[in-house]
């Protein structure tokens, strides 16, 4: 909006920019409605009964709890494994960088049930890795481990690309100054780069967590039971119809708002100037 407001003082194109502003506003409003209306309808239709069911329906409580735990574990795994990768992609030039970046986006393009099968081929009991995991007592398919794997696979690319952008927005000169003042690379990263990119990183984590919570297709291939909330909502719909499915979906939407708002509110403001 800002550039439009600033340039609209130029007298010659004032009318054109005014029209553009109105149209953009109209378009934005319709679009916002398009995004919000289905969720509002969902919550209006099933919100009250969903919240009431939280007290009576142990399966629903179990599914929501499992979803929250697995999505958080997936998010932590993404942060742990994805942050160095994102930093590397933002800061270093190396051979094959474009290929690596493209490959990292691939999981976003694969239809999710296919992603589930692909994960099974690598981590299932038919594979060498899967057999080794089983030997170590870790069952992937049919367990929460499978849920986390599916979540990481479909949501980590979103985190990595957003985190890469966040790192790229931090001016390298700040890091150089820290280095010339005697900080080793790790310390410069921890004391300069990380705080300056924290806003962007937290936003990236929020996106990853939300994407993980909403995943269905890959999870249902790897782990149908125990059920996460998305699988339970699908089950209730196909098995019992809309009246049973709406409360599950509504309560998931309501509860997902809490961590989303909390994370957005808690993000530090120190990096505001860098990526605002």
Partner 1 sequence: MRVRFVLPAVLAVAASCGRSTPASGSGAIVVYTAASVAIPIRAALDTFAAHQHVAVQQENGGSLDIARKLTELHEIPDVVVLADYDVFPKLLMPGQTTWYAEFARNRMVLAFTNTSKFASQVDSVNWPQILQRPGVQVGRANPDLDPNGYRTLLTMQLAERYYEQPGLYDKLMKLSPAKNMRPREADLVGVLQAGEFDYIWSYESLARATKLRYVTLPSAIDLGTPADTDLYAQATVKVAGKTPKDTLTIKGEPIVYALSIPTRAPHPAAARAFVSFLLSREGRSLLRANKLDALDTPVIIGRGAPASVRAAVSAP
Distance CA 123, CA 35 (A): 36
Neighbours of 79 (CB within 10 A): 18
Task: Kindly state the tokens that stand for 269.
Answer: 């403001």
What is the DSSP-derived secondary structure letter of residue 261? H
Interacting positions 158-217 with partner 1 (CB under 8 A): none
Q: Does 141 bind partner 1 (CB under 8 A)?
A: yes
- Among 19-27, 66-74, 174-182, 207-215, the segment contacting partner 1 (CB under 8 A): 19-27
Q: Does 127 bind partner 1 (CB under 8 A)?
A: yes
Distance CA 62, CA 273 (A): 42
Cα 129 from chain centroid?
A: 27
- Which C-beta is closer to partner 1: that of 215 or that of 235? 235
Q: Does 241 bind partner 1 (CB under 8 A)?
A: yes
Distance CA 32, CA 27 (A): 9
Distance CA 43, CA 248 (A): 10
- Count of positions on this chain that bind partner 1 (CB under 8 A): 41
Residues in the chain: 276
Cis peptide before 226 (omega within 30 of 0): yes
Give, in order, the Cα–Cα distances in Å from 212 to each of 148, 155, 159, 241, 251: 8, 6, 11, 25, 17
Distance CA 116, CA 223 (A): 9
CB of 217 to partner 1, least distance (A): 11
Does residue 120 contact residue 141 with C-beta atoms inside 8 Å?
Answer: yes
Q: Does 124 bind partner 1 (CB under 8 A)?
A: yes
Among 45, 62, 81, 113, binds partner 1 (CB under 8 A): 113
Among 10, 24, 52, 257, binds partner 1 (CB under 8 A): 24
Among 202, 221, 228, 229, binds partner 1 (CB under 8 A): 221
- Among 13-21, 39-47, 103-111, 174-182, the segment contacting partner 1 (CB under 8 A): 13-21
Interacting positions 58-97 with partner 1 (CB under 8 A): 59
- Which C-beta is closer to partner 1: that of 8 or that of 169? 8
- Among 63-71, 83-91, 135-143, 192-200, the segment contacting partner 1 (CB under 8 A): 135-143
Q: Does 244 bind partner 1 (CB under 8 A)?
A: yes
Among 6, 93, 238, 276, binds partner 1 (CB under 8 A): 238
Q: Which residue blocks in 181-216 are alpha helix, DSSP H?
A: 185-188, 194-214
Q: Does 233 bind partner 1 (CB under 8 A)?
A: no
* Site residues, partner 1 (CB under 8 A): 16, 19-20, 23-24, 26-27, 30-31, 34, 57, 59, 113, 116-117, 120-121, 124-127, 139, 141-143, 220-221, 223-226, 234-242, 244
């Amino acid at each position: 909006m800002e550039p439009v407001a600033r340039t609209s003082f130029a007298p010659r194109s004032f009318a054109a920019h005014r029209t553009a502003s109105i149209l953009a506003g109209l378009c934005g409003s319709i679009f916002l409605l398009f995004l919000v209306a289905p969720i509002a309808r969902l919550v209006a239709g099933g919100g009250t009964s969903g919240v009431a069911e939280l007290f009576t329906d142990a399966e629903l409580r179990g599914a929501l709890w499992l979803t929250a735990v697995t999505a958080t574990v997936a998010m932590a795994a993404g942060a742990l494994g994805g942050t160095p990768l994102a930093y590397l992609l933002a800061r270093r030039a190396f051979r094959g960088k474009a290929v690596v970046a493209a490959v990292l986006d691939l999981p976003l393009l694969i239809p999710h049930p296919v992603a589930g099968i692909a994960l099974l081929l690598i981590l299932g009991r038919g594979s060498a890795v899967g057999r080794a995991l089983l030997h170590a007592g870790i069952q992937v398919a049919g367990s929460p481990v499978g849920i986390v794997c599916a979540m990481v696979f479909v949501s980590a690319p979103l985190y990595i690309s957003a985190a890469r952008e966040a790192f790229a927005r931090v001016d390298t000169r700040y890091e150089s100054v820290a280095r010339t003042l005697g900080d080793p690379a790790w310390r410069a990263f921890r004391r300069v780069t990380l705080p300056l990119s924290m806003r962007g990183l937290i936003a990236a984590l929020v996106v990853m967590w939300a994407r993980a919570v909403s995943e269905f297709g890959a999870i249902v291939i790897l782990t149908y039971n125990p059920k996460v909330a998305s699988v339970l909502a699908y089950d209730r719909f196909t098995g019992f119809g809309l009246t049973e499915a709406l409360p599950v979906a509504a309560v998931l939407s309501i509860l997902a708002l809490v961590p989303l708002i909390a994370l957005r509110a808690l993000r530090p403001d120190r990096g505001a100037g860098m990526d605002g």
